[in-house]
């Protein structure tokens, strides 16, 4: 345990300061660097992100989305929200094209998810089906925990061209969409996790089964 008595005040975010931060991140990426993913403790991860309302011009928005996509792939991850780069805007990118063991994919209802950009996303459950599985987060390095989530959701969002989209997701795709959209509300998966399920990445192979039955018995959650 360490003691820190320094006090800092989180910055106030205006449309101008958001644009300036996005320009900085894009320029960093264009210089050949991968912008860092912010970790828990950064205030932007705990604040509601602002609805995207053309704070960025179309060219800068596209450049930012491309930067987000490459950061996500480099991590590697299956989703990334703008607050994870320190930007409080309701923007996220999703993609899950990784190979999965067929048995695991079947239990988790994991289907490939082509690259998707979601702006101002919202979701709500469809029906009462709930699924619990381990999740990790690029902003909470080193740990995974079980989160119980609606297995079927209805979503709304806009695409990069401003068109309104309505789309339903199920299974693992629904989990990814919820995880990233939660970031835009200042929520990280550990807020919803069954805390006794939490395990360090190097311990996770003990529980890396298609389902969580053995983890429930072994960790008591």
Domain ranges of the chain: 15-219
- Residue 35 pLDDT > 50: yes
Average pLDDT over residues 189-209: 96
CA separation for the pair 182, 140 (Å, rounded): 14
Average pLDDT over residues 47-65: 97
- Residue 6 pLDDT > 70: no
Give me the pLDDT at residue 12, please.
Answer: 77
Distance of CA 102 to the CA centre of its chain: 24
Domain 15-219 has CATH 3.40.50.1820: no
Residues in contact with 99: Cβ distance below 8 Å, sequence separation at least 6, in sequence order: none
Give me the pLDDT at residue 72, please.
Answer: 98
- Residue 27, helix vs strand vs coil: helix
Q: 2 falls in which pLDDT band (50, 70, 90)?
A: very low
Using a cut of 0.95, tell me whether the model's pTM lies above it: no
> What is the per-residue pLDDT across 139-164, written as a single tens digit (0 to 9) for each?
999 999 999 999 999 999 999 999 99
Our answer to whether residue 180 is catalytic in this structure is: yes
Enter the tokens of residue 126: 């469809």
Average pLDDT over residues 201-211: 95
Give me the pLDDT at residue 184, please.
Answer: 98
What is the chain's Cα-based Rg?
Answer: 18
Q: Which of 3-17, 102-116, 160-174, 190-204 has the lowest mean pLDDT?
A: 3-17
pLDDT, the chain, mean: 95
Identified catalytic residue from 16, 21, 180, 214: 180
Greatest Cα pair distance in the chain: 52
Average pLDDT over residues 190-219: 96
> What is the per-residue pLDDT across 87-141, written as a single tens digit (0 to 9) for each?
999 999 999 999 999 999 999 999 999 999 999 999 999 999 999 999 999 999 9
């Amino acid at each position: 345990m360490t003691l820190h008595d320094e006090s800092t005040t989180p910055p106030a975010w205006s449309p101008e300061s958001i644009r300036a931060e996005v320009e900085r991140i894009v320029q960093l990426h264009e210089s050949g660097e991968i912008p860092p993913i912010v970790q828990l403790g950064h205030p932007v991860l705990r604040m509601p992100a602002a609805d995207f309302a053309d704070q960025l011009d179309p060219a800068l928005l596209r450049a930012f989305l491309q930067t987000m996509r490459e950061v996500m792939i480099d991590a590697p991850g299956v989703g990334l929200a703008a607050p994870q780069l320190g930007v409080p805007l309701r923007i996220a990118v999703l993609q899950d094209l990784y190979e999965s063991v067929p048995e695991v994919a079947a239990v988790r209802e994991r289907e490939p998810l082509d690259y998707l950009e979601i702006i101002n996303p919202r979701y709500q459950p469809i029906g009462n089906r709930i699924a619990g599985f381990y999740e990790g987060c690029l902003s909470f390095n080193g740990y995974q925990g079980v989160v119980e989530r609606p297995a079927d959701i209805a979503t709304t969002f806009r695409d990069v061209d401003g068109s309104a989209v309505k789309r339903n997701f199920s299974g693992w795709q629904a989990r990814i969409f919820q995880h990233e959209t939660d970031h835009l509300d200042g929520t990280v998966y550990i807020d919803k996790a069954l805390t006794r399920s939490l395990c360090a990445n190097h311990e996770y192979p003990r529980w890396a089964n298609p389902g969580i039955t053995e983890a429930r018995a072994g960790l008591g959650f």
